[in-house]
Amino acid sequence: MKRLLSMCVILVAAGSLAFANGVRHPSTVPELPIVRVAGGQLKGFVEEDGTLAFTGIQYAVAERFGKPQPVPAWQGVKPAQVYGPIAMIPDQTAVGYDEFAWPHRYGIQNEDCLYLNLWTQSLSTSAKKPVLFFIHGGGFTNGSSIEAVAYEGGNLSKFGDVVVVTVNHRLNVLGYLDLSSFGSAYSDTANLGMLDLVAALQWVKDNIAQFGGDPSNVTIFGQSGGATKVQTLYHMPAAEGLFARGVGQSTGVFNPLTKAQANRVGQLTVQKLGLNAGTIDQIKTIDYRTLLAASVAALADASKEVGVNINWRSVLDGSTVVADYPEWANALPYMAGTVFSESSNNNLNLIAQGINKNDWTAAEVDRYLVQRFGANAAAVKTEFSKLFPEKKPQDAYFYVGNRNPTRDALALKAQTATAPVYNYLFAFEAPANGGITAFHCSELIYLFHNVNLREITKATGGTAEVYVMQNLVAQAWINYATNGNPSQPGLEWKPFDPVTKTGTLIFSNNGQSRFAPLDDKNLEQLMAPR
């Protein structure tokens, strides 16, 4: 046994063994990349395909309810080889029903959560590659840069020869509790999570050239709650000059709380904690779960008082976040879109109950359509087939594009913009589990070019068409990040028309991806609940 162990050590150390236990190994170990950034040196690692990765990079530090500050300088080389802590979030107590189609992973929570991850193909400061900066979903309450397996950035970096960054930031009560009525020390608490994102973008501007990126060509993109944060960054004076264009995915629109609403939530939270203006500083040391529970109860009470649902969002304070697009934001392009089954019927859409829609008989199709649309079922079926000739009639049952908020946001942006806006609908059906129509989050699998990841291959079916789709979607985002135009050969993408509110790039099956007017307002009216 000792002799066998010795041989193994010698062989590996010598690098002369091409195969060990049937597994092929490189004859040499790649040198670990070391980069100097503001503050000190970082050591990353090399992924299997040669992509250079730096994970768990601390971009700022912050005390509880304090603004983000630069990271203090350090001596020596700091490892950037594992993911950093994620933001504090509500307890997760059950496996999601969407786990098969959208596999998750959960990290270690810590109030020290201001970390980002980075993938690149070059460390040359003259490379000046486009930078794609991703803001995760989960509203303003949940999520992290690693929550979804699909968020891995290495494949997108490799496919497009771009720099990919994913980021954590403070959420819920630690990121958006307005305590400004309790003194100047708490004047900025309402938008700390957004100020974290500004700090991360500032870190990118200051350091990304060392990773081969172009600090003047940063594209921010976010999905769901991340899309709302992208929109919000367009309304933040402090973000001027930190990004060149943005993408909002899955309905996210600019909808901040008023200062009065946010202020009331802060006051109620303090009351529920048994604090007052004289003892307010104790809020910095109260257990997070206790603090969160008090704030959730305060949100509920504040909502009842005004008859409007108040939840965690940015706050329109007129300084950190402003109502109108600043002049600099008008000059930046914007792209936004939704997915085919955006907002409801997800339990059926994800086939959690084993409903294989593609096996329905004609009678079953009609029964389901009547179940959802009542007397409008036949009209819905006809109108749907006109708009989506490549789809089956039963797919109308799953169509909840929820496109009106996004259309309105694009039209509003275009009113004062000097740069184009673009719209898309991701309508691709994954050939897995009986057919999974495009659900909230699903386009990220293809955008991040991650179909080859084991957990995702089983969730998409991994057929040739799936790989074609990921090339189309990823290339569109890469082209947009490169020059502001998402078109590609064979798939021209024209700007959205803000007058007619039409003009959509549809990503669909059977080679049917196309740019079309997609004026589905009549269909949505027919589909409206009655």
Give the start-to-end residue ranges of the domains of the chain. Answer: 1-30, 38-256+318-330, 340-527
pLDDT at 319: 96
Is the pLDDT score of 3 beyond 90?
Answer: no
Among 95-99, 178-182, 200-204, 499-503, which is the least confidently predicted range?
Answer: 95-99
> pTM of this prediction?
0.93
Mean pLDDT score, 402-423: 93
Which H or E element spans position 199? helix 192-207
Query: How far is 293 from 289, CA to CA, in rounded Å?
Result: 6
Over residues 305-338, the pLDDT tens digits come to 999 999 999 999 999 999 999 999 999 999 999 9
Q: What is the dihedral of CA 223, 80, 479, 122, to 10 degrees?
A: 180
Tokens of 192: 């700390």
Q: What distances in angstroms separate CA 33 from CA 47, 110, 121, 211, 409, one per listed residue? A: 11, 27, 11, 10, 42
pLDDT of residue 1: 40
| pLDDT attached to residue 251 | 77
Report the pLDDT value the prediction gives residue 145, as an integer from 0 to 100: 98
Question: Kindly report the CA angle at 301 between 295 and 306, in degrees rounded to 5?
Answer: 125
Q: By three-state DSSP, how is residue 125 classified?
A: coil
Q: 439 pairs with which residues across the strands?
A: 341
Q: b/e map of 234-265 (b: 16 or more CB within 10 Å)?
A: bbbebbeebbbbbbbbbbbbbebbebebbbbb
Buried b (16+ CB within 10 A) or exposed e, 406-433: bbebbbebbeebebbbbbbbbbbbbbbb
How high is the pLDDT of residue 13? Answer: 34
- How is residue 130 annotated by DSSP? E
Phi, psi of 282 (to 5 degrees): -65, -20
Which residues, 6 or more positions from 499, have their beta carbon under 8 angstroms from its beta carbon?
Answer: none
| Dihedral sign of CA atoms 475, 446, 120, 207 in order | positive
pLDDT given at position 17: 37
Percent of the chain at pLDDT > 90 equals: 85
Q: Is 511 exposed, middle or buried (0-12, 13-18, 19+ CB in 10 A)?
A: exposed
Q: Does residue 353 surpass a pLDDT of 90? A: no
Residues 39-94 pLDDT 10s? 999 999 999 999 999 999 999 999 999 999 999 999 999 999 999 999 999 998 88
Joined tokens for residue 206: 């200051």
- Residues 6+ positions from 518 with CB-CB distance below 8 Å: 387, 425, 502, 503, 504, 506
Mean pLDDT of 376-381: 96
Do residues 335 and 247 make contact, with C-beta atoms less than 8 angstroms apart?
Answer: yes
Token pair for residue 483?
A: 């020059």
Give me 133's structure tokens.
């900066």
Q: Tell whether the model's pLDDT for residue 139 goes beyond 60.
A: yes
Residue count (the chain): 530
pLDDT of residue 27: 57
pLDDT over 90 at 262, yes or no: yes
By the 8 A CB rule, do 190 and 262 touch?
yes
| pLDDT at residue 227 is higher than 70 | yes
430 in Cβ contact with 460 (< 8 Å): yes
Say if CB 344 and CB 256 are below 8 A apart.
no
pLDDT 10s digits, 441-494: 999 999 999 999 999 998 899 999 999 999 999 999 999 999 999 999 999 999
* Least confident residue range of 8-17, 369-378, 408-417, 457-466: 8-17
Residue 24 confidence (pLDDT) above 80: no
The total of other beta-carbon atoms located within 10 Å of residue 391's CB is: 21
Q: Are strands 334-339 and 421-426 parallel, antiparallel or unpaired?
A: parallel
If one counts every other C-beta atom within 10 angstroms of the C-beta of residue 297, the result is 13
Residue 280 has pLDDT above 70, yes or no: yes
CA 116 to chain centre: 14
> Is pLDDT above 50 for 4?
no
Q: For the domain bounded by 340-527, which CATH number is listed?
A: 3.40.50.1820
Q: Cα separation of 145 and 271, whole Å?
A: 33
Rounded to an integer, what distance in angstroms lies between the CA atom of residue 112 and that of residue 117? 15
Residue 156: closest CA among 135, 136, 130, 137: 130
274's tokens? 């048994």
Using a CB cutoff of 8 Å and minimum separation of 24, what contacts does 280-283 make?
Answer: 280/179, 280/182, 280/183, 280/186, 283/65, 283/179
Say if residues 147 and 110 touch (Cβ distance below 8 Å).
Answer: no
Q: Which pLDDT band, with edges at 50, 70 and 90, does 15 fall under?
A: very low
Domain boundaries 38-256+318-330, CATH class: alpha beta
pLDDT mean across residues, the chain = 92
Question: What gap in Å lies between CA 98 and CA 53, rounded to an integer?
Answer: 29
Say if residue 28's pLDDT is above 80. no
Distance of CA 522 to the CA centre of its chain: 30
CA dihedral over 93, 146, 311, 110, signed as positive or negative: positive
Neighbours of 24 (CB within 10 A): 8
pLDDT of residue 401: 82
